[in-house]
Chains A and B, each alone.
Chain A
Amino acid sequence: MTLTTTATPSAPTNKLGFTKQDYVGSKSTLCAGCGHDSITAQIINAAFESNIEGYRVAKYSGIGCSSKTPAYFLNQGWGFNSVHGRMPSIATGASLANRNLINIGVSGDGDSMSIGMGQFVHAVRRNIPMIYIIEDNGVYGLTKGQFSATADQGSHLKNGAVNDLPPIDPCTLAIELGCGFVARCFSGNPKQLNTILKAAFAYKGTVVLDIISPCVTFNNHDASTRSYKHVKDHDFPLHDLGFIQYSEVEDVEIPAGQTEVVTFPDGSKVAIKAIHEDYDPTDRFGAMKAIHESMAKGEFLTGLLYINPTHPPLPEVLNLVDEPLASLGESQLKPSAAVLDEIMQSLM
């Protein structure tokens, strides 16, 4: 974990004087080609480009493949890989203790939509200041491929089991709960993901970001229609640090309003639609309608689906002092002897 920066002199720096390498983490231990690694790469890019002060970042996760990823980015920040489905309460406590932290939670569809549904719902309702990323692949990867609650009805496992139940959609759920920033992305569309992540860093409350991220191992049971697997050589030299970034799914850039059918390694085809240019993300009911219409057509509508810039986050609702609670000292916290005396008198 004592990763030192080995930027070449020519490495570009951001306004804080950091190179992109200053935003990386440890080497990923996920399967080669995992969509989650593409997301990690975009978190690094967006944090670099947004001039994020790494020491202010706190990264939280639960349990699962996705929950391992906070170790793979932003080593300057503190990480907390907690227990299954309980990342939201970890983010809640830390964000209340120190309101200066920049909070990033990474979860998966199993971690958030099944075991952690209760905490997801309430964290969104409380508007915890955090970017809540759901790396959504429809399966439990780390326990070797069981269905999650976001799996499509009728989809099937390696062993032939069919999912009979309808999926839960994190985006419409988040909008219903009053979330002020809801977006869906596709891990194979780095440009869109990067843009949304940068917007998310600028937002004060809970950002729910559902990122469709294919599992290359447990959806890989058929002959892949997309047989090539190549290492994409991106424009920053992260693989020098042991970070291998490539995707089994070729990167796409979907023009606004267009639909692209993406074939996943298992041969399944997923229609990803980018929102129209005239889409109004401040219209809550319109957003719900657009998402439902898109789902009815079997598409994933991607982009910034809903935003409410004025939704106050929990520390504001609680009217906390400006200074982080964790920094308050005894002189600010301990009432005087006269106060105790006054209380004792009232109990006599």
Chain B
Amino acid sequence: MTASLAALAPTGGAKTRINDFSIQVATVNGSGSQTANSVLLRAIFQMGVLVSGKNLFPSNIAGLPTWFTIRASAKGYVARKASNEILILMNPETAKEDIANADAKALVIYDEPLQLDKLRDDLTFIPVPFQKLVTASCPEPKLHKLVKNMIYVGVASRLLGVDMEEVKKAIAKQLKSKAKAVEINQNAAIAGYDWAMENLPDQDHVKVVRDNKTQGLIIVDGNEACALGALFAGVTVVGWYPITPASSLVETFIEYAEEYRKDPKTGKSTVAIVQMEDELASAGVVLSAGWAGARAMTSTSGPGISLMSEFIGMGYYVEAPGVFFNVARTGPSTGLPTRTQQADVELCAKCSHGDTQHINLYPGTMEECFQFAYDAFDLAERFQTPIFVVTDLDLGMQNWSSKPFDYPAKPYDRGKVLNQQQLAQVQDWGRYKDVDDDGICYRSLPGTPGGKGAYFTRGSGHNAYAQYSEKPEDYVATVDRLKKKFETAKSHVPGPVFRNLGSAKGVLAFGSSDPAVIEAQDLLAQSGLKTDYLRLRALPFTAEIDAFVMEKKVVYLVEQNRDGQMANLFRETYPEHATKFKSVLHYDGYAIDAKCIVDQITAFEQK
């Protein structure tokens, strides 16, 4: 045993971190580490411990450094944690830097030839002969590179006390029915486990202890949850263009559609999925399919929304339905394509030239990704307009544990569509007549027989009868009615979620910031600052949000962008309360963590 390993000696349990730690794994992109990391995460999950995983990957297919963090939390905190108790260093390129950035007292599992143990004396180094172990456990040299990572799963499992049976189950689950791959990977994990058994002392610094917090839970990412929402919402036309981090939303949908949207006898499909030439064309397909009566969607990220802006403005003005998923990434321009941000808030709120206001949904949990994706199709058809479902890379591509999704029993709302019989009864048909005084007009679908109901849709000025018009009164009537329609939406979009500890001080956040805000709220309360937390879930702002803004003395607005974009929307909507909003920001591309929120709010409080 080396001097360093001696630090692993049991402390008697007084300081043991049970089910409360963060592991960071540094590997090379494309080396199969994603599988290994998912297995480790799932094995801990199967031990009944709540975990979350975050893949910090490069914009690259193979060769560049990638990091994966796994956080276990007995208290159920699943946000990224700024500090890590365990490091697993497999990448020679980044190892020295990883050591330099390591938190004091961290356990460092590393590839023996990297010789990292002299770099710092406040860490516990665990050198592992990965090459030797993989050579012994895997007979096929060409697989060594891919299987090597599974060895650290075994080593870490032994070190933490994760049951090897759970690791084996997780491998089988991860690799599904590929029997040979399952066997090879299980052998590698066992080799790591056995090596650790023989060579490492028992330790009680960081432990996984079997719990029951994950009973009945699922592990899913937001893109899959949104894809499932769209599946159950009955989407019939999908026009899309690949872009990180949004591609897997449609790709997962394609897999499910293959299974659940094809007639088993004829093989014919009830959904048209077309990979378009660009995002512009995708937006055109979505809005025209919606115009023609289909439930249509696309999935994209910021650069795609920029391209779609012209069409989205048209969709707003001609009143064509469509669902636009924006899995946001770091901008502007190409930005950091594989990192997360909430910096498309203002873009999606007002996408297009001219005066526009869009309904936006901000899911903050996996269940909401599913439910809001489902609801978005109802809202699109009810309001005959583009609907944004705004998530981000953190929600969309990372692993989250969640309660299983409830079946969406609510019947579809197909909105105000007149069929042949209804049209026959209408005396004075006008596509844009506000008959119900709610800003939402009745539409007809192309191809409706009977000789009534046809109209001419145009992105240029039009009157209530869909006729071309440049008259000032017609233009004003149209855009004012669109504003009224947006007002009507206030009673249809999901309201906020509260977590009130009883305070005149408010915290307001949305989307993927939720776990970090909950944790920060608890940490602040522990140090004597109670807050009331409102999680915003949609635009337009509903009456509950009006009330929250009125009653709070200060509102800490937490968001993941540089400019406080949501705060800008609040200041614009509530100008008389503009000074109440204090921005708490995080925008480096990594998911937000509780500490940065606590630090910024504490600093404001001390002013």
| A residues with CB within 8 A of B | 1-2, 53-56, 58, 60, 70-71, 75-83, 86, 88-94, 96-98, 100-101, 118-119, 121-122, 126, 314-315, 318-322, 324-328, 330, 332-335, 337, 339-341, 343-344, 347-348
- CB pair B270 A328 closer than 8 Å: yes
A47 smallest CB distance to B (angstroms)? 14
The reply on B454 being an interface residue by CB < 8 A is yes
Can you give 19 contacting A-B residue pairs, CB < 8 Å?
A56-B447, A60-B288, A76-B454, A77-B446, A81-B457, A82-B314, A86-B280, A90-B287, A94-B446, A97-B236, A98-B445, A98-B446, A118-B280, A119-B281, A319-B268, A320-B268, A322-B268, A324-B447, A332-B270
Q: Which residues of B245-299 have CB atoms within 8 Å of chain A's CB atoms?
A: 256, 260-261, 263, 266-274, 276-278, 280-296
A294, B468: Cα distance in complex, Å? 42
The reply on B226 being an interface residue by CB < 8 A is no
The reply on B239 being an interface residue by CB < 8 A is yes
- CB pair B270 A321 closer than 8 Å: yes
- CB pair B272 A86 closer than 8 Å: no
Given A325-B272, A340-B232, also A335-B260 (CB < 8 A) = yes
Most-contacted residue by chain B among A75, A86, A91, A119 (CB, 10 A) = A86
- CB pair B293 A55 closer than 8 Å: no
- CB pair A348 B218 closer than 8 Å: yes
The reply on B496 being an interface residue by CB < 8 A is no
Chain B neighbourhood of A334, CB < 8 A: 232-234, 412
The reply on B335 being an interface residue by CB < 8 A is no
Chain B neighbourhood of A333, CB < 8 A: 234, 236, 261, 270, 295, 412
A65, B407: Cα distance in complex, Å? 51
* Shortest Cβ-Cβ A-B pairs, 4 listed: A89-B284, A333-B234, A326-B293, A93-B288
Choose one: A81, A97, A344; the contact of B459 (CB below 8 Å): A81
Chain A neighbourhood of B231, CB < 8 A: 335
Interface string of B176-220 (1 = CB under 8 A from A): 000000000000000000000000000000000000000011111
B428 smallest CB distance to A (angstroms)? 9
Given A92-B284, A319-B267, A344-B404, also A79-B239 (CB < 8 A) = no
The reply on B311 being an interface residue by CB < 8 A is yes
The reply on B449 being an interface residue by CB < 8 A is yes
Query: Of all chain A residues, which has the CB nearest B448?
Result: A55
- CB pair B260 A93 closer than 8 Å: no
- CB pair A325 B294 closer than 8 Å: yes
Choose one: B270, B289, B450, B465; the contact of A1 (CB below 8 Å): B465
The reply on B411 being an interface residue by CB < 8 A is yes
Query: Of all chain A residues, which has the CB nearest B260?
Result: A335
Given A77-B446, A94-B446, A332-B270, also A89-B310 (CB < 8 A) = no
The reply on B237 being an interface residue by CB < 8 A is yes
Given A319-B268, A320-B272, also A90-B446 (CB < 8 A) = no
A347, B174: Cα distance in complex, Å? 10
Chain B neighbourhood of A343, CB < 8 A: 228, 256
Query: Of all chain B residues, which has the CB nearest A84?
Result: B310
A132, B457: Cα distance in complex, Å? 19
Q: Which residues of B416-473 have CB atoms within 8 Å of chain A's CB atoms?
A: 444-451, 454-460, 465-468
A329, B321: Cα distance in complex, Å? 17
A348, B217: Cα distance in complex, Å? 6
Query: Of all chain A residues, which has the CB nearest B406?
Result: A340
A67 smallest CB distance to B (angstroms)? 10
Chain B neighbourhood of A324, CB < 8 A: 293, 447
Chain A neighbourhood of B451, CB < 8 A: 54-55, 76
- CB pair B289 A97 closer than 8 Å: yes
- CB pair A326 B239 closer than 8 Å: no
Chain A neighbourhood of B475, CB < 8 A: none
A285, B416: Cα distance in complex, Å? 51
Query: Of all chain A residues, which has the CB nearest B256?
Result: A343
Chain A neighbourhood of B311, CB < 8 A: 82-83, 86
A102 smallest CB distance to B (angstroms)? 9
A91, B274: Cα distance in complex, Å? 13
| B residues with CB within 8 A of A | 216-220, 228, 231-234, 236-237, 239, 256, 260-261, 263, 266-274, 276-278, 280-296, 310-311, 314, 318, 404-405, 407, 411-412, 444-451, 454-460, 465-468
B386 smallest CB distance to A (angstroms)? 13
Choose one: A81, A97, A121; the contact of B458 (CB below 8 Å): A81
Kindly list 15 other residue pairs between chains A and B, CB separation below 8 angstroms, not including A320-B268, A340-B407, A347-B220.
A1-B465, A55-B449, A81-B457, A83-B459, A93-B294, A96-B289, A98-B292, A319-B268, A319-B269, A325-B289, A333-B270, A335-B231, A340-B228, A340-B405, A348-B404
A60, B228: Cα distance in complex, Å? 33
Chain A neighbourhood of B467, CB < 8 A: 1
Query: Of all chain A residues, which has the CB nearest B446?
Result: A78
- CB pair A75 B288 closer than 8 Å: no
Chain A neighbourhood of B228, CB < 8 A: 340, 343
Query: Of all chain A residues, which has the CB nearest B266?
Result: A321
Choose one: A75, A88, A118, A318; the contact of B454 (CB below 8 Å): A75
- CB pair B454 A326 closer than 8 Å: no
- CB pair B269 A318 closer than 8 Å: yes
- CB pair B269 A89 closer than 8 Å: no
- CB pair A58 B219 closer than 8 Å: no
- CB pair B239 A93 closer than 8 Å: yes
- CB pair A93 B450 closer than 8 Å: no
Most-contacted residue by chain B among A2, A82, A83, A315 (CB, 10 A) = A82
A96, B271: Cα distance in complex, Å? 9
B213 smallest CB distance to A (angstroms)? 14
Choose one: A54, A90, A319, A325; the contact of B288 (CB below 8 Å): A90
- CB pair B234 A92 closer than 8 Å: no
B282 smallest CB distance to A (angstroms)? 8
Choose one: B236, B267, B289; the contact of A328 (CB below 8 Å): B236
- CB pair B456 A89 closer than 8 Å: no
A55, B453: Cα distance in complex, Å? 9
Chain A neighbourhood of B287, CB < 8 A: 90, 93
Chain A neighbourhood of B446, CB < 8 A: 58, 77-78, 94, 98, 101
Query: Of all chain A residues, which has the CB nearest B468?
Result: A71
A96, B217: Cα distance in complex, Å? 38
- CB pair B292 A58 closer than 8 Å: yes
- CB pair B288 A92 closer than 8 Å: yes
- CB pair B239 A92 closer than 8 Å: yes
Query: Of all chain A residues, which has the CB nearest B449?
Result: A55
Chain B neighbourhood of A319, CB < 8 A: 267-269
A89, B292: Cα distance in complex, Å? 13
A284, B191: Cα distance in complex, Å? 64
A233, B310: Cα distance in complex, Å? 43
Chain A neighbourhood of B288, CB < 8 A: 60, 80, 82, 89-94, 97
- CB pair A325 B236 closer than 8 Å: yes
Chain A neighbourhood of B217, CB < 8 A: 348
Most-contacted residue by chain B among A320, A337, A348 (CB, 10 A) = A348
- CB pair B280 A98 closer than 8 Å: no
A344 smallest CB distance to B (angstroms)? 4
A81, B458: Cα distance in complex, Å? 5
Given A55-B447, A55-B448, also A337-B407 (CB < 8 A) = yes
- CB pair B274 A126 closer than 8 Å: yes
Choose one: B216, B233, B281, B404; the contact of A92 (CB below 8 Å): B281
Query: Of all chain B residues, which has the CB nearest A318?
Result: B272
Query: Of all chain A residues, which has the CB nearest B268?
Result: A321
Chain A neighbourhood of B412, CB < 8 A: 330, 333-334
Query: Of all chain B residues, which has the CB nearest A25?
Result: B456
- CB pair B277 A348 closer than 8 Å: no
Chain A neighbourhood of B268, CB < 8 A: 319-322
- CB pair A89 B407 closer than 8 Å: no
B384 smallest CB distance to A (angstroms)? 14
Chain A neighbourhood of B263, CB < 8 A: 321
Chain A neighbourhood of B289, CB < 8 A: 93-94, 96-97, 325-326
Most-contacted residue by chain A among B267, B277, B287, B292 (CB, 10 A) = B292
- CB pair B466 A94 closer than 8 Å: no
A330, B112: Cα distance in complex, Å? 59
- CB pair A326 B292 closer than 8 Å: yes
A75, B459: Cα distance in complex, Å? 18
